[in-house]
Structure formats: structure tokens, C-alpha cells
Amino acid sequence: MTVRIPGQVEFYIRALAREYGRKRAPQAGSRPSALDELVLTVLSQNTNDRNRDRAWRSLRRQFPRWEQVAKARRQDLVAAIRVGGLAEQKAERIQALLRRIRKSEGRYSLARVCRMPAAEARGYLLSFQGVGEKTAACVILFACGQPAFPVDTHILRVSQRLGLLPAKATAQRAHERLGKLVPPAGMYEFHLNLIAHGRAVCRARKPQCPVCCLKERCRYYQRVKLNS
């Protein structure tokens, strides 16, 4: 069962903005390139932001150009990103993506993706082996500045507890549904604030329901309150 109350998502956006602050999406020129965002998202998998950023800085320090990354010895690339975890798998994936991009685009660039409509960009990115819904949405939202709503583990958990998603929603279903429910103008801010809320309050274990700013419109909290 999911909620379909008019204005529900807008209520969550406003409440989280009061709690965690407004977030303004960067303008063109201040955003990362699409290829930078793609690789950064690969590095973010199964690790925290701190280790992701350390792996990114190490990668760019040792290999300033994407051509160097593509042609690097695998063990050197693994060593450069080891701090981010799963370095063997990520190194293989990054080099495979770079080879595919070079073949498709004629250069190490995804600039063309940001000139596509969001739906076309999504389809193109998903055609790359190893690129899923979240990665594609991150590139579209953060690099291209177009409407997309990436769903990570925090957003999935909070959305399910609120009642925005079914308990067993797949990644594809979660992206499709939230992409329709969340107003395009609110996607950037809601994405960041939902993650902040999932980390600070709506944790996987022992959620802090009494201090939650969304509790009065939360299906999970209403069930807990009813059973207490």
C-alpha cells in the first residue's frame, strides 16, 4: 500500500527544507561533467562519502586525464582507488565504461548526454553495462541539471516507511514512481534532504521517530504508535 494524498510529497519537501535547509542546484558551469559524475557515482558504490571523495582525489591526482585511466595498468588503478573499497570491481568497471564511451563518442566525454532530453539520456546511459537506474539518474540530475531522482538505500528506506513506495519496490520501480511523484523543481533538494534525514533520524536500525519532522504523515510511525 502506498499513499496518494494530494500535496503529500510537497509537505515532505517543505518539512525537510525547514529541518535541513534549502538546497539550490548548481548552475551550468558549476556542475561536474557527465563523465566525472559517472565515475564518481561508480566510486560511491558500497562506501561512504568520505572514502568516495578520497578515492576520487587519489584517482585524479595519479591520472589527471581519462585517457590515462583507460590505459592504466589494472593494478595501478586499483591502488589509486583502493581507499573507496571494492577497488578491483570498480577499476574494471571504470575502464570498461571508458572504452565504451571512447568507442561510442569518439572521445572520453559524455557532454552529448547533457544535450539530450532526460528520457533519452537515461536510455543511453542504461545501455552501458554496469550503469543502473541510480547511476543514470545521478548523471542526469547532478551533471546535466535535468529532472531525475536518484534513489539510494536511505531514500528507498525513508520512502517505504513514509508510504511513498511499496515495501518490496525494485530499484526500477522506485525510480519510476518517485520520478513521477516528486515535482521536477524539488528533485535536487528533496534528494539531498531525504538522504540527510535517513542518516540522522530515519535510520535503518532504531529510527528516531519521536523527533522526526515527518512523523505525522508517516505510515511507519502511525503503525508504531498504534501498536505501542
The one-letter code for the residue type at 94 is I
**Distance from C-alpha of 37 to C-alpha of 175, rounded to nearest angstrom:** 18
Element (H, E) at 97: helix 87-105
The widest CA-to-CA distance across the chain, in whole angstroms, is: 62
Torsion sign over Cα 71, 111, 22, 204: negative
Task: Give the rounded distance of the alpha carbon of 85 from its chain centre.
Answer: 18
The DSSP secondary-structure symbol of 71 reads H
Active site residue 134: yes
Catalytic residue (choose from 71, 134, 206, 225): 134
Contact between 81 and 52 under an 8 Å Cβ cutoff? The reply is no
Which residue has 542518516 as its cell numbers? 199
Per-residue CA distances from 131 to 42, 164, 171, 218 (Å): 9, 25, 13, 32
Contacts of residue 175, Cβ cutoff 8 Å, sequence gap at least 6: 133, 134, 137, 149, 150, 151
Question: Catalytic residue numbers?
Answer: 134
